[in-house]
Chains A and B, each alone.
Chain A
Amino acid sequence: MKSWLTTTDHKRIGLLYFWTAFGFFMIGGLEALIIRAQLVRPDGGLGVSAETFNQLFTMHGTTMVFLALMPLSAAFFNYIIPLQIGARDVAFPRLNAFSYWVFLLGGLFLNASFVAGPLFGADRLSVAPDAGWFGYANLTSRQFSPGPNVDFWLLGLQILGIASLAAGFNFVVTILNMRAPGMRMLRLPPFTWMTLITQFLVITAFPVITVALVLLMFDRFFGTHFFLPAGGGDPILWQHLFWMFGHPEVYILILPAMGIISEVLPTFSKKPLFGYTVVVYSGVVIAFLGWSVWSHHMFSTGLGPIADSVFAGTTMLIAIPTGVKIFNWIGTLWGGQIRFTTSLLFAVGFIAMFIIGGLSGVTHASAPSDLQQTDTYYVVAHIHYVLFGGTILGLFSGIYYWWPKMTGRFLSERMGKVHFWLTLIGMNLAFFPMHFSGLLGMPRRIYTYSADLGVARFNQLSTIGAFLIGIATLVFFWNLLRTRRRPSNAPANPWGGATLEWAISSPPPVYNFTVIPTVTSRLPLWQTERHAPMAPLPDRPPAPIHVPGGSWWPMITAFGLPIIAIGALAHLIPIVLAGAAVVIVGIYRWAYEPFEM
């Protein structure tokens, strides 16, 4: 127990990230199921009240984006990246632990809002954030959202931002600076590359939302008018700041998944990644362009024809590097010896589904056509094809791929296939009809709709699909759980992968590599035209390897942050100060604690 609380081992932290994020995914999914149950019929299927419904979709979006998908990717960053680059750990192991604890506490803080009502003299289920995951001003002002709901949201996101930023710096340095000898940048495995790009997006995009949230906080707590027309402010500035972060954020969510399938496809088709350099550079281009498109979320705000044209144009450009990736993946499969493992199925599913989401994205990119689509279920369809059909399928692929490495135990392939097909059918049933309900006039974020709209049938299909996904997810959950009772018999390289993580035992020893390998090719474990596979590493380290002990301070420091947030929430300065004191003491003790790598 203590060893888990104080751990600074990237592998353990990776597992902590995984289980925590998976838990939040179930919570976010449960919220989605309630949303779907409510919408199964016109005029309210489940009798969920408008207020509760607004909390549900806000928390669903926020949870999925910040508490499920980002940290699920982070689970792989943590576990896999140091192994792939041949390192003993990340650059800053304690900072890494800190990121995890901050993430966990931030997530708990956000979700505590569901039950915190009584503390504010309100009912349970009444003070959770309820202004949507992008919290448009001026609905979020004290005047229109008087309760603590939006405070929970903005403080929670601030906390989570700290976790992401800390992890961002950590992984930038880890990937750039901790590579094994010979691991040149263009020999990095594609997953590591996409992670690096993602982290650059994190450290540049998160400061912007930090500022936006600070300004919002000043509006709400101190009576400024940053986003309030009454004092000359402009609610549109919020939208610019949010989407300047928000659009890079969606690539933060997809790039790691793209990296994962760029590992899975070569392994299971026994062919190197087609066009490796192009795939890498297209990732860079996507990230770069990703910074220039944010206003495509604001076509209906009246930006004027010139800005509309510019942002429509830049948005469409992103289809090119993305398409390049897709074609290279198909090129990888082409001519290979494809083994249809669950992992591969999910990877192929990713490609198939992401194309649909990407293409509906292009219909959004056309500003005038988006005027009929924005804020309807058509957008909801888009986001779920890219986020579920893309990111989640990609992450599932990664889980089936790396689970034996992470635990030494195989997931059942039989159940995996059930999981895959149920998920694929479920998601199409859930999200494809949303294209229709949207274009037929169903706005998003409505807890009820009129039977006369004629969209009831589509909503029924969506609901059935959502519950199919739910069942699929339960199958998967069961599959995960039962591996604990299965033998720990996974060999070092069960799938015949080419990258360094497969050179060591499953699960790897604490110190990872008995000796740090020297890398001479992009596919160190494979026989290629010019390179023989790497010689196996010795079974035992030639000299004892010193592994740093754990540390309490990352966790203790992390605890200061929610304390500060609680103080702010309750308008109690002493609590804020107490939290700040915890942070400061934590940082000092941390800085002066002996800690050897």
Chain B
Amino acid sequence: MLRGAVYFDAVPLVLALLLLFLTACSGQFPQSVFEPRSDFSTELAGLFTNIFWWAVGVFVIVETLLLIAIARYRARPGAAEPKPVHGHTALEIGWTLAPALILVFIAVPTMRTIFATAGQAPEGALRVEVIGHQWWWEYRYPTLNISAYNELHLPVATPIQVEMTSADVIHSFWVPRLGGKRDLIQGRTNRIAFRADSTGEYWGQCAEFCGASHANMRLRVFVQSDSAFQRWVDQERAAPATPAKGSPAEAGLQVFRRSACIGCHTIAGVAQGKIGPDLSHVGGRATIAGALFPNTSETLHRWIMNAPSLKPGALMPPQNLSPQDLDAVVAYLQSLK
């Protein structure tokens, strides 16, 4: 049994070591909280690390005491009856105060971080409104007068003020490397603020259960240099491309015009549907359908033919288009850079 006792905590202990190892390595985990790339997420990671070490300390001490107790005091034949100890006041006071003291060391940085990350960006921050939809994202830049869908573009090293709400059920905006979650709730506005400190592509996804395709409500954030961001803004501001006469894309525009698409999607100057994402610049996106698929001709085909089969519950019904029409529409969408 002694051997058993030693094994008792071996499993979690080994795994805890693994955790330390993991926090050190990087790269393969695009949604890891251990690779913060903003002031917000760095604060959170620091706080977590702090608490984590306190927890490791408590864990090691208490589990060791437990192991010693069961290893040392196993019944031996013929041993004297144990002393019937009923308690010990000094000990009781000690092990009440010791955790209390540790908690002070956890609580103080916690409170500090709560106020430091309360979601208020400094003056002059770039405002972004995030609106959750079942199961896609809408981003508005009120000061730049543009919108984006599923893929958020942000300038590096610029304070960002994010304001969030939902068009339907509760969602939660989460890009681990840029910051903690915040819920999107219809009728309320929630805020977070952060400043990304390096350019790159960041992954995120909806973190509040929001129905059938909650798992498929993913998102991307592209943090760009100022000039790259400006180029993107200019591109979004421009009117959608008009396809050349006689090109396949031109035929696609016609198909789009006469199909159900216009009821749900906006393309500036072509359609004003509000149910699905704006497609004015859909060709410029890296992914479609809530960052679920790469934006390729093949995935667009499959998506338009039968979206719910790719994304359960998706509120875009299967579109009954002839193969030619489908090719044309896809060509048109891809031309909308």
Interface residues of A (CB under 8 A from B): 49-51, 54, 131-132, 136, 138-139, 144, 229-230, 234-236, 269-272, 274-278, 300-302, 304-305, 308-309, 312-313, 316-317, 319-320, 323-324, 326-328, 330-331, 333-340, 345, 348-349, 351-352, 355-356, 359-360, 362-363, 365-372, 374-376, 421, 424-425, 428-429, 432-433, 435-436, 439-450, 452-455, 526, 528-529
Contact = CB atoms under 8 A, between A and B. Distances in A.
A352 B63 contact: yes
Contacts of A323: 95-96, 99
Contacts of A428: 11-12, 15
15 contacts: A139-B211, A269-B73, A300-B181, A323-B95, A333-B73, A351-B66, A352-B8, A355-B62, A368-B180, A372-B41, A432-B11, A440-B31, A443-B205, A453-B30, A454-B29
Nearest to A526: B84
Interface residues of B, number: 98
A456 to B, nearest CB: 11
Contact of B313 (A51, A235, A274, A340): A51
A327 B95 contact: yes
Interface stretch (B108-116, B143-151, B296-304): B108-116
Given A302-B182, A302-B183, A320-B99, A355 B63 contact: yes
Contacts of B84: 271-272, 526, 528-529
B273 to A, nearest CB: 20
Contacts of B172: 300, 375
A312 B104 CA distance: 12
Most buried by A among B19, B172, B181, B312: B181
Given A236-B188, A312-B110, A334-B69, A449 B215 contact: yes
A425 to B, nearest CB: 6
A449 B170 CA distance: 20
A85 B58 CA distance: 37
B323 interface: no
A450 B207 CA distance: 15
B238 interface: no
Given A138-B169, A372-B33, A375-B207, 16 more contacts: A136-B208, A136-B209, A234-B188, A300-B182, A302-B191, A324-B95, A349-B8, A352-B8, A352-B63, A355-B58, A363-B52, A366-B48, A372-B176, A445-B209, A453-B30, A529-B84
Contact of B30 (A269, A441, A526): A441
A50 B269 CA distance: 37
Interface of B: 1, 4, 8-9, 11-12, 15, 18-19, 22, 28-34, 41, 43-45, 47-48, 51-52, 55, 58-59, 62-63, 65-66, 69-70, 73-76, 79, 81-88, 91-92, 95-96, 99-100, 103, 106-107, 110-111, 113-115, 117-119, 134, 168-170, 172, 174, 176, 179-183, 185-188, 190-191, 203, 205-216, 218, 312-313
A443 B47 CA distance: 21
A199 to B, nearest CB: 26
B34 A50 contact: no
A278 B92 contact: yes
B215 A372 contact: no
Most B-side CB within 10 Å, residue of A302, A324, A446: A302
Contacts of A447: 215
Given A271-B85, A355-B59, A374 B181 contact: yes
A439 B117 CA distance: 19
A356 B59 contact: yes
